[in-house]
Chains A and B, each alone.
Chain A
Amino acid sequence: MHTLLKHTVLATMIGLSGPAMASMAYVSNEKDNTLSIIDTNTREVVDTIDVGQRPRGILLSKDHTKLYICASDDDTVQIMDLATRKIIDTLPSGEDPEQFALHPNNKHLYISNEDDAIVTVVDVSTKEVLAQIDVGVEPEGMAVSPDGKWAVNTSETTSMLHWINTETFEIEKNIVVGQRPRHVEFSKDSKVAWASAEIGGTVHIIDVDNLEQIHEMTFKVPGVNQDRVQPVGIELTSDGKYAFVALGPSNHVAVVDAKTYEVLDYLLVGARVWQLDLDKDEKHLYTTNGVSGDVSIIDIEDMKVVKSIKVGRYPWGVVIDPTS
């Protein structure tokens, strides 16, 4: 009885301690100017929060206490405190920020400014703009290698990956890839980078040591017109086994063997699948489906889509808080 009481009290305390305890997925709704918060245990939207205009790229601070939100039409990056779910600050971001990446030092935020063809580097603690780096036309995707050495920007019109040295803030190499590169994802060991080209319909795998392309992938979704196969978001499992590629308006996610680059399966999700994120123990993958306005959850062990959850209009980015 005593133990039961203790457990009940404990459970109540956990319950009361609120949002910070359960693992939450955050989804930016581009057209609704909101953020949907999904409880990953119950798989239900538990909260919807008003944020700046046209929220797109979102990411977590390295200590998982804050969420950074690109409010594209407000020309700013907002900072949300995860414990209180309140916007506590904004950062200078340059015009029209869409995607960004945080350096492992938890300080330097690399923001791509689509309209100005630059990458802005901001120190999040001092809010100081450290550098503005000229890149190709319409910069879009942004990634920083887990070892912190490289920042990579993709420019949509120039179809290039710009490799920025994070110490000097200078471009050291440009790699031409397929048309309209959208997103870059590094392997956890920083040895390879995967870049998606939306119009080209390709995914390029780059060897980071030599800064050279080692493989180029194409996709063929059965029953779907090739024009609609547009790779965007990429997610890699940390065991190096799988890569997942969101194929935009083909409404499918490609499951790729990350070693052989062979497509293992195409999974049907909602319309215009955009960005992806893995949950805490990498058992599930969450996808944002822009046109159908929902988030699909893929069970990685079974390689099956298990549920789709309605969120706001045009969900763009998704990140899952790994702490729980």
Chain B
Amino acid sequence: MKASQYWHCFVGIQTREWLRFWQQRTRFASALVRPLLWLVVFAAGFRAVLGISIIPPYETYITYETYIAPGLCGMIILFNSMQGALSMVYDRELGSMRVLLMSPLPRPFLLVTKLLAMGVVSVGQVYVFLLLALLVDVEPPAWGYLAVLPALILTSLMLGALGLLIATWIKQLENFAGVMNFVIFPMFFMSSALYPLWRMNEASPWLYWICQFNPFTHAVEAIRFSLYLEWNPMAYGITAGVTVVLALLATAGFRPQRTKILGSKPA
């Protein structure tokens, strides 16, 4: 295979994802409603909760809005990735994914490109969210908006791979509610998205350790630090490592026909 063929395929998948996004503009807007509600309503109630300690990367006291903004960026990517990954299962069943997988290019390349394409759309949403967050005085340094880009892409790849992995195990695609309850919410709440981990540690050390082992925590921290122009090698390292492992598992496990991997016996 020539590099040009890879590129052609890459562009094709990206374009298709943008077309799909363009046809689902209302979904784009409605996906922003959730994090904005958190930022404007939930955070308003907790405004005075923080401002009692200074934690890196911040150099001074911050409002709760400022604290949770990076976590909500993570939330946007989390929901999008899970939805996107599940839609890949849907595609798989309806056949459009099969068309894609018929390509002679290696399947891992196709899947990762697809994840990346979904990620780019998520990242677009994150930027719109960050612009709207300016209205509630969440004002990271200007260069932070650029510096956060790699962290956002990495996060969307990681969560996309996770979604894909889960999707291969799901028997029915209507099961999004289950994914919400057992994957999205635990991942979101047991992380540093809503509260700093030292607070968690004060409340319960074992919860703190769960949060520490939650890769979403490190993704959020990578976003948080880069947004404020600080380098956090641990957060980046863990997010990247987990991304590679999940991507390997997901691409290895992905089969055009679900029944094969599930190994379910005929009724």
Show the binding face of A for B, using Cβ within 8 Å: 222-224, 251, 268-271, 292, 294, 296-297, 304-308
Q: Which residues of B contact A (CB under 8 A)?
A: 44, 47-48, 51-54, 59-63, 139
A135 to B60, CA, bound (A): 40
Asked if B52 and A306 make an inter-chain contact with CB atoms under 8 angstroms apart, the answer reads no
Contact B59 A222 (CB under 8 A): no
Beta-carbon contact of B61 and A268 below 8 Å: yes
A294 to B44, CA, bound (A): 26
B51/A307 in contact, CB under 8 A: no
Q: Show 13 A/B contacts (Cβ-Cβ < 8 Å), sorted by A.
A: A222-B47, A251-B51, A268-B61, A269-B60, A269-B61, A271-B51, A292-B52, A292-B53, A292-B61, A296-B60, A305-B60, A306-B59, A306-B60
How far does the alpha carbon of A222 sit from the alpha carbon of B63 in the complex, in Å?
11
Contacts of A306 in B (CB 8 A): 59-60
8 nearest A-B residue pairs (beta carbon): A223-B47, A308-B60, A307-B59, A305-B60, A268-B61, A223-B48, A307-B60, A268-B51
Q: Is the CB of B52 within 8 A of A271?
A: yes
Q: How far is the CA of A223 from the CA of B46 in the complex (A)?
A: 9
Main secondary structure of the interface of B (DSSP, over half): loop
Taking the nearest CB of chain B, how far is it from the CB of A299, in angstroms?
Answer: 11
In the bound complex, how far is the Cα of B61 from the Cα of A270, in angstroms?
Answer: 6
Taking A251-B51, A271-B52 as contacts, is the C-beta distance between A296 and B44 under 8 angstroms?
A: no
**Beyond A296-B60, A307-B59, 10 additional pairs, beta carbon < 8 A:** A222-B47, A224-B48, A268-B63, A269-B61, A271-B52, A292-B53, A305-B60, A305-B61, A308-B54, A308-B61
Docked Cα-Cα span, A307 to B61, in Å, equals 8
A311 to chain B, nearest CB (A): 13
Closest-CB distance, B49 to chain A (whole angstroms) = 10
Nearest residue (CB) in A for B66 is A268
Q: Which residues of chain A have C-beta atoms less than 8 A from B139's C-beta?
A: 304
Q: In the assembly, what is the distance between CA of A294 and CA of B47, in Å? A: 21
Nearest CB in chain B: distance from A264 CB, A: 13
CA distance A271 to B53 in the complex (A): 9
When distances are taken between beta carbons in the complex, the residues of chain B under 8 Å from A305 are: 60-61
Q: Are B62 and A308 in contact (CB under 8 A)?
A: no
Contact of A308 among B47, B48, B59, B63 (CB under 8 A): B59
Note all chain B residues with C-beta closer than 8 A to A270. 61
Give Cα distance in the complex from A305 to B66, angstroms: 13
Q: In the complex, how many angstroms separate the beta carbon of A152 from the nearest chain B beta carbon?
A: 32
CB-nearest residue of chain B relative to A271?
B52
A222 to B48, CA, bound (A): 9
Looking at B47, B52, B54, B139, the one whose CB has the most chain A CB atoms below 10 A away is B54
* A289 nearest CB neighbor, chain B only: B61
Closest-CB distance, A167 to chain B (whole angstroms): 45
Q: Shortest Cβ distance from A171 into chain B, in angstroms?
A: 41
B47–A296 CB distance below 8 A:
no
CA distance A242 to B139 in the complex (A): 23
Known interface pairs A292-B52, A308-B54. Does A251 touch B61 (Cβ–Cβ under 8 Å)?
A: yes
Query: How far apart are B68's CB and chain A's nearest CB, in angstroms?
Result: 15
Q: Are A268 and B62 in contact (CB under 8 A)?
A: yes
Residues on A with C-beta less than 8 A from B60 are: 268-269, 296-297, 305-308
A224 to B63, CA, bound (A): 12
Residues of A within 8 Å of B53, CB to CB, are 292
Closest to A269 in B: B61
Which chain B residue has the least Cβ–Cβ distance from A302? B139
In the assembly, what is the distance between CA of A44 and CA of B238, in Å? 32
Question: Which of B44, B48, B60, B139 counts the most A-chain CB atoms under 10 A from its CB?
Answer: B60
Residues of A near B59 (CB, < 8 A) are 306-308
A304 to B61, CA, bound (A): 11
A271: chain B residues within 8 A (beta carbon): 51-52
A251 to B53, CA, bound (A): 12
Roughly how many angstroms separate A251 CA and B54 CA in the complex, as a whole number?
14
B59, B61, B63, most chain A CB atoms within 10 A: B61
